Structure 1
Amino acid sequence: MVWNWQQTDWPEFRYDSAALASLEETFLLRAGELFGAFHHVNPNDRDTLRIELISDEALKTSEIEGEILNRDSVQSSLRQQMGLDSETRRILPEERGIAEMMVTLYRTYGDSLTHYGLFSWHKMVMAGHRDIQIVGGYREHDDPMQVVSGPIGREKVHFEAPPSNQIRAEMDAFIEWFNGSAPDGKSPRPALLRSGIAHLYFESIHPFEDGNGRIGRALSEKALAQNLGQPTLIALAYTIERNRKTYYEILERSNKSNEITNWLVYFAETILEAQANTLTRIEFYIAKARLYDRLRGKLNPRQKKALARMFREGVEGFKGGLSAENYIRITGASRATTTRDLQDLVDKGALTRTGERRHTRYWLANTQTDQSPIERRGV
């Protein structure tokens, strides 16, 4: 197999710009809608919304790599690093590290890319990991850097990256391209084109022993933020994680040729879907704030606890809806009290009810938002 980096035209990627033209326009239009929606959030609630959006990305970019982190710990670390909380709860290094990287990305998106900056990100992403030789530096081992699957002796090689002795030169070229393609660079590129190339280019080099996926997605978000002139806060990792198999399949197909139009269309559509997901989440948060404002002083402690637990599930809500048994487990209430509490929440317009008897389920009211599906091409 001849990989993309082994071909004579590497890294001169070829693509059909016209295939992205309408997607670029949609991206800019939706970016305006997103920023507008964000500014409709009460100023006092914007920091909380930022924490929720950034923590979702931190959790999902780790989950894509099979690492499951604690939401409360990640959010606590984010609040500390953004100067919003002095709480000193115990936080694992992995959770503090990914939170620190996301805050650094948010605050320094406009800075030029450097080796030092990438090394710093790597130290954050690999905090708590003791199974790799080099943390905060490019790989140096002599063994091939491969992505493989299957049993020993019958492994399938999905990709092989350049050998370690080529990495510094490859990363010199990548950093020069990334900075040169920025809005103020020598050869500026449109947002979606630049973000898509950045991700594939970086992943093809695979410069670190581990953590390449998380850093590659962060680079894509950095590229978008630089083109927009402000942090995007879009749910990119959240969206990729929901279709992780497709993401890996297309990434694998795209490392065998330097004609990458299909990859760029896929990644651009993923970004648009991420924008739609983020807008939905912002609207959900606004609906949540309005509901709490309307019911301030009208809920008992059990109802507050149950609603908080339901909102914690996010836009998707409780799978299958909230049942009376769920409410009892959450609040410790008796069945008679549960019946009264739930009916009161329906009467107050906090919940809606469907079904009868043991099939009765409850759903958050006035928090459902429309999310149009994204038509995918070239997949």
Structure 2
Amino acid sequence: MRWNWQQNDWPEFRWDARKLVRAEALFAEGAGVVIGASKHLSVEEQSSLSIELMSHEAVDTSAIEGEPLDRDSVQSSIRRHLGLHGDHRRASPAEAGIAEMMVDLYAQAGSPLNEATLFRWHQLITNGRTDLKDIGRYRTHADPMQIVSGPLHTPRVHFEAPPSQDVAKEMGRFWEWLDRSAPNGLAALPPVTRAGLAHLWFESIHPFEDGNGRVGRAISEKILAQGLSSPAITGMAGTLLKHRKTYYAELERAHRELEITDWLLWFAAKALEAQQHTLRQVEFVLEKSRLLGRIGGQLNARQEKALLRMFAAGPQGFLGGMSAANYMTITGAPPATATRDLAALAAMGALRRTGEKKSTRYHLPILPEPLAAVEMADIL
């Protein structure tokens, strides 16, 4: 078997740009909608939304690699890096590192990417690791760089990257292409095509001892932002996590050839799906602001605390809906008070009631319908 980097014309990737025209147009249109909707948020709401998106991206990109992180700890760490008040909860080295990387990524979203930034990101995502030889630099080990699964005695090799001795040369070509293909470069590419190609190319080189997936997805996110007149967060990691199995399968297939139209179409579909999710979060914050503005002054401290807890669950909603028992746990209210408070919230339109007796649950009245996945056929 010959991997893409072993083929004679590597790294001359080929694709049918005509098939990506609609996807690029939809992405540009969607970015405009997200940016326009965000302008209706207050400065405080914009900051809160950015922190929420960064924390989700940090947790989701780590989850793709099988590393579970605590979202609240990551979010608290992000707030501290931004100089904002936090709850001072303790973050693990991994949580603190990915949080700082996300702040760095989004604070400088529209700026060019360079090797020094890449090495810094690698240092951050490997924060606290003692099992790696090469941190903040390209790998140097002599063993083959392989992605494998299955038992040790009969492993399945999903991909083998170029040997470590070739990484510096390969990354040199990658950096040259990144400059040429930039929005103001000599061979500028539209953002979705450029981000999809950069992700595949970077993953094909696999330049680090570990952490290539997280760094590669950060590169994609940065390139998508660079291609917009006003950089916006696309939030790819959550969508790729949702389609994790297919994501790995599509990457594995693309690693075997240099004709990558199918990979770019799949990546474009996921970028559009992620963009829809981000727009939904913006709209959710707007609806939250309208709802709280309408019922302002009518809430007691318990009701306000419970509502804010439900809003914190985001557009996907409070898992299973709010029950009287949940309300008691969150607010410390006794049973009769919890029942009375919830009934009052429903009466004023702050919550929507479903079920009866022990099955009674309360939901925010602004939760949208679930998002449908965007498929390749939708953008052709």
State if a TM-score over 0.5 links the two structures.
yes
The 3-state SS of whatever aligns with 2:19 is helix
CA distance in 1, matches of 2:109, 2:365: 37
Which moved further from structure 2: 290-299 or 207-216?
Answer: 290-299
Residue 139 of structure 2 corresponds to 139
Residue 215 of structure 1 corresponds to 215
CA distance in 1, matches of 2:331, 2:102: 34
Residue 25 of structure 1 corresponds to 25
CA distance in 1, matches of 2:198, 2:162: 17
Residue 192 of structure 1 corresponds to 192
The 3-state SS of whatever aligns with 2:363 is strand
Which moved further from structure 2: 287-296 or 339-348?
Answer: 287-296
CA distance in 2, matches of 1:319, 1:306: 14
CA distance in 1, matches of 2:86, 2:192: 38
Q: Is the 2:196–2:220 contact (alpha carbons within 8 Å) kept by the matching residues of 1?
A: yes
CA distance in 2, matches of 1:117, 1:225: 16
Letter of the 2:156 partner, please give it.
K
Alignment of 1:161-180 (within 5 A): 161-180=161-180
Q: How many residues align?
A: 379
Q: Where does structure 1 lack aligned partners over 5 or more consecutive residues?
A: none
Alignment of 1:336-355 (within 5 A): 336-355=336-355
Residue 201 of structure 1 corresponds to 201
The 3-state SS of whatever aligns with 2:376 is coil
Residue 329 of structure 2 corresponds to 329
CA RMSD of aligned residues (A): 1.9
Using the TM superposition, give the Cα deviation of residue 36 of structure 1 relative to its aligned residue in structure 2, in angstroms. Answer: 0.1
Q: Is the 2:221–2:235 contact (alpha carbons within 8 Å) kept by the matching residues of 1?
A: no
Q: Percent identity?
A: 52
Using the TM superposition, give the Cα deviation of residue 326 of structure 1 relative to its aligned residue in structure 2, in angstroms. Answer: 2.3
Residue 114 of structure 2 corresponds to 114
Alignment of 1:240-279 (within 5 A): 240-279=240-279
Q: Is the 1:110–1:229 contact (alpha carbons within 8 Å) kept by the matching residues of 2?
A: no
The 3-state SS of whatever aligns with 1:152 is coil
Letter of the 1:40 partner, please give it.
H
CA distance in 1, matches of 2:240, 2:191: 18
Residue 234 of structure 1 corresponds to 234
CA distance in 1, matches of 2:8, 2:235: 36
Using the TM superposition, give the Cα deviation of residue 24 of structure 1 relative to its aligned residue in structure 2, in angstroms. Answer: 0.6
1:276 to 1:89, Cα distance in 2 relative to 1, 3 A:
same
Using the TM superposition, give the Cα deviation of residue 317 of structure 1 relative to its aligned residue in structure 2, in angstroms. Answer: 0.9
Using the TM superposition, give the Cα deviation of residue 172 of structure 1 relative to its aligned residue in structure 2, in angstroms. Answer: 0.4
Q: Is the 1:323–1:360 contact (alpha carbons within 8 Å) kept by the matching residues of 2?
A: yes
Tell me the alpha carbon deviations over residues 22-81 of structure 1, each in whole angstroms, 9 at most, x when there is no partner.
Answer: 111111111110100000112332111111111211121111112222222222222222
The 3-state SS of whatever aligns with 2:362 is strand
TM-score when normalising by structure 2:
0.94
Q: Is the 2:317–2:367 contact (alpha carbons within 8 Å) kept by the matching residues of 1?
A: no
CA distance in 2, matches of 1:86, 1:375: 39
Q: Where does structure 2 lack aligned partners over 5 or more consecutive residues?
A: none
Letter of the 2:339 partner, please give it.
T
Residue 76 of structure 1 corresponds to 76
The 3-state SS of whatever aligns with 2:137 is coil
Q: Is the 2:145–2:161 contact (alpha carbons within 8 Å) kept by the matching residues of 1?
A: yes
TM-score when normalising by structure 1:
0.95
Q: Is the 1:15–1:261 contact (alpha carbons within 8 Å) kept by the matching residues of 2?
A: yes
Residue 99 of structure 1 corresponds to 99
Tell me the alpha carbon deviations over residues 141-185 of structure 1, each in whole angstroms, 9 at most, x when there is no partner.
Answer: 111111111111021111111110010000001111111100111
The 3-state SS of whatever aligns with 1:362 is strand
The 3-state SS of whatever aligns with 1:133 is coil
Using the TM superposition, give the Cα deviation of residue 134 of structure 1 relative to its aligned residue in structure 2, in angstroms. Answer: 1.0
Residue 292 of structure 1 corresponds to 292
Using the TM superposition, give the Cα deviation of residue 236 of structure 1 relative to its aligned residue in structure 2, in angstroms. Answer: 0.8
CA distance in 2, matches of 1:378, 1:308: 37
The 3-state SS of whatever aligns with 1:231 is coil
Using the TM superposition, give the Cα deviation of residue 88 of structure 1 relative to its aligned residue in structure 2, in angstroms. Answer: 5.2
Residue 182 of structure 1 corresponds to 182
Using the TM superposition, give the Cα deviation of residue 195 of structure 1 relative to its aligned residue in structure 2, in angstroms. Answer: 0.6
CA distance in 2, matches of 1:291, 1:32: 25
CA distance in 2, matches of 1:133, 1:181: 33
Tell me the alpha carbon deviations over residues 224-246 of structure 1, each in whole angstroms, 9 at most, x when there is no partner.
Answer: 11111443212211111111111
